[in-house]
Amino acid sequence: MNAIELSVFASRLSAICDEMGALLKSAAFSPNIKDRLDFSCALFDHRGQLVAQAAHIPVHLGSMAYAMADIVDAQRWRPGDMLVVNDPYLGGTHLPDVTVIAPIYVEQQLIGFSANRAHHANIGASEPGSMPVSQSLAQEGVIIAPTLLVEDGAVVEPVLTRLCGTDTGATHTIQARGDFAAQISASGLGAERLAEQVQAVGLDRFAQAVALLNDYAERLARNALSIIPNGRYQFRDYMDDDGLGQQDVVIAATVDVHEDGVAVDFSGTADQVKGNINCPLSVAAAAAFYVLRCLMPAQTPACAGTFRAIHITAPEGCLVNARRPAAVAAGNVETSTRMVDVLLGALAQALPERIPAASTGSMNNVAMGAMATPDQPRWDYYETNGGGMGAGVSGGGLSGVQTHMTNTLNTPIESLERHYPIRVTRYQLRRDSGGDGQVRGGDGLIREYTFLAPARLTLLTERRRYAPWGLNGGKPGAVGENKINGAKVPAKIALDVKAGDVLTLATAGGGGWGEPAKAL
């Protein structure tokens, strides 16, 4: 297979993932998936090694790439079956992220897997929106070990009912069933399309092409990483708090660069905490994969070979390699972003002209909802909010965007107000919240919600105490703040709100890069 044929092969695989995502978006029922695009799609070989992925959510894709092989090894696969799983300690991220996996067979031979991961706003947690200020995994919802969701081509109804609820007329049940149907269809489509590709080229030629693709990706990756001078680079940063009283939770990393590759070690990170900012090692791997992938050329294939030169370790029982049953709801969304900041801070010592300042450093999670009443059906809603991107030598940070470990969209106000008893009364950039510098950091945003009915609200946010840092003399971005009816509330809190109450979310700006110009 020559270079052109290999390029076409890689493009066809990634196109399958794109098509899976398009189907999932168009078929899903919930705004969280169809509007915010909080999902990811990927293909794997028969051993669970990554073959291709779409440009979806980095924390989803990196964790799947790291953990899929273990899931594959532990199961007995058959044609026509699909598994569902969300257990963070078995390759997941946090419970709302539910993965549906379909094995792919050609001529009765297992040749790979099609998978998608999507965020469900109701996964049975102790709080509406399924993002509680939790103390254990059990409080965060239904824990799904790898379970047959489809058997011999038919949906396993008792499993689906357990995941969606028994009240078939309720809005949340209808949405959940629609979302699972979309996930099943997306994984089925991926399996069908990949089988068509294999049948077109033959089993042996397909296996050869995958091997060549991995080798090519490894060469590109190693060449890109070779620009980092050999050495040891260390950095640490802090999580504001765990939501249950523990503040200043350290995340430390050492990046060792040598001829054989890059080793990332999170030794020195705090022990796992009582609150829910813990995460499994798969999320730490996703952060490391993401940061180092950003140094590689755009044409680097997204496959297992890309990450052969990267090695990740973390002490068992620490914040980023937690032991069951530690709570992890915010680890996937908040701790993952801080790990990116820590790794960028380390690499900035080696590549000061290539690394940007810290970005907003939080996905600014808002979960809300209410149980059913005689006047209103149950509802659950979850969204993340953008902030300021850190500035770099090549330009200022973008404003009001998601950064690093997620690239979800905001929910359009029209969709949010149509589906839920909420009115968005303010949505704007938070001017001058980006850090000053030779190049300014991006601004955060302000989003204001007025509740039209009583609800339960949960906020899981960061960078409310520790500002996103600048680089090379650049100033830090402004910290974020959360307010209810004008009064500040903690970064992580669950509370009841009344009709007429107003939540104002102001997100952090990005750090500046370079010394600010002196005033004349």
Task: Calculate mean pLDDT across residues 373-390.
Answer: 90
**Confidence check: pLDDT of 50 > 90:** yes
Task: Calculate mean pLDDT across residues 371-393.
Answer: 90
Q: Report which of residues 234 and 69 the model is more confident about.
A: 234
Say what the pLDDT of residue 64 is: 83
Q: Do residues 458 and 503 make contact, with C-beta atoms less than 8 angstroms apart?
A: no
> Residue 40 and residue 19: Cα distance in Å, rounded?
11
| CB-CB neighbours of 345 under 10 Å | 21
User: What percent of the chain has a predicted confidence (pLDDT) above 70?
Assistant: 98
How many residues are listed for the chain in this entry?
520
Say what the pLDDT of residue 113 is: 97
Say what the pLDDT of residue 411 is: 87
Q: pLDDT tens for residues 438-461?
A: 999 999 999 999 999 999 999 999
DSSP label at residue 376: B
Strand, coil or helix: 235: strand
Q: pLDDT tens for residues 257-277?
A: 999 999 999 999 999 999 999
Say what the pLDDT of residue 410 is: 84
User: What percent of the chain has a predicted confidence (pLDDT) above 90?
Assistant: 84
Say what the pLDDT of residue 169 is: 55
Between vectors from CA 151 to CA 194 and to CA 67, what angle results, nearest 5°?
60
Task: Calculate mean pLDDT across residues 455-471.
Answer: 98
Please say whether the dihedral angle defined by the alpha carbons of residues 437, 491, 405 and 234, taken in this order, is positive or negative.
positive
Lowest-confidence segment of 26-40, 182-196, 238-252 by average pLDDT: 26-40
The overall average pLDDT reported for the chain is 94
| CB-CB neighbours of 147 under 10 Å | 15
Cis peptide before 158 (omega within 30 of 0): no
Task: Calculate mean pLDDT across residues 41-59.
Answer: 89
**Confidence check: pLDDT of 180 > 60:** yes
pTM of the model: 0.94
Q: Label residue 60 by pLDDT band (50, 70, 90).
A: confident
CA-closest candidate to residue 388, choices 513, 509, 511, 478: 509
Say what the pLDDT of residue 168 is: 54
| CB-CB neighbours of 157 under 10 Å | 8
Task: Calculate mean pLDDT across residues 58-63.
Answer: 79
Q: Label residue 378 by pLDDT band (50, 70, 90).
A: confident
Q: Label residue 77 by pLDDT band (50, 70, 90).
A: very high
Token readout for 79 is 């044609």
Q: Report which of residues 307 and 126 the model is more confident about.
A: 307
Between vectors from CA 291 to CA 285 and to CA 295, what angle results, nearest 5°?
135
Say what the pLDDT of residue 371 is: 84
**Confidence check: pLDDT of 158 > 80:** yes
Lowest-confidence segment of 1-5, 383-387, 445-449, 462-466 by average pLDDT: 1-5
Please say whether the dihedral angle defined by the alpha carbons of residues 183, 373, 449 and 387, taken in this order, is positive or negative.
negative
DSSP label at residue 387: B
Task: Calculate mean pLDDT across residues 377-391.
Answer: 93
Say what the pLDDT of residue 70 is: 87
Task: Calculate mean pLDDT across residues 466-471.
Answer: 98
Say what the pLDDT of residue 166 is: 63
CA-closest candidate to residue 155, choices 201, 117, 100, 106: 100
Tokens 């530690």, located at residue: 326
| CB-CB neighbours of 310 under 10 Å | 18
Strands (E) in 436-501, as ranges, are 444-451, 455-460, 481-484, 487-489, 492-497
Give me the amino acid identity at 354. R
> Residue 423 and residue 451: Cα distance in Å, rounded?
6
Tokens 């979309």, located at residue: 182
Give me the amino acid identity at 371. M
Token readout for 493 is 């809190």
Lowest-confidence segment of 69-73, 476-480, 487-491 by average pLDDT: 69-73
Q: For the residues of 45-84, what is the DSSP string, one character each?
A: ETTS-EEEE-S--HHHHHHHHHHHHHHHHT----TT-EEE
Say what the pLDDT of residue 65 is: 81
Q: pLDDT tens for residues 276-293?
A: 999 999 999 999 999 999
Token readout for 323 is 């032991």
Q: Label residue 171 by pLDDT band (50, 70, 90).
A: low
> Residue 222 and residue 307: Cα distance in Å, rounded?
9
Say what the pLDDT of residue 223 is: 96
Say what the pLDDT of residue 69 is: 87
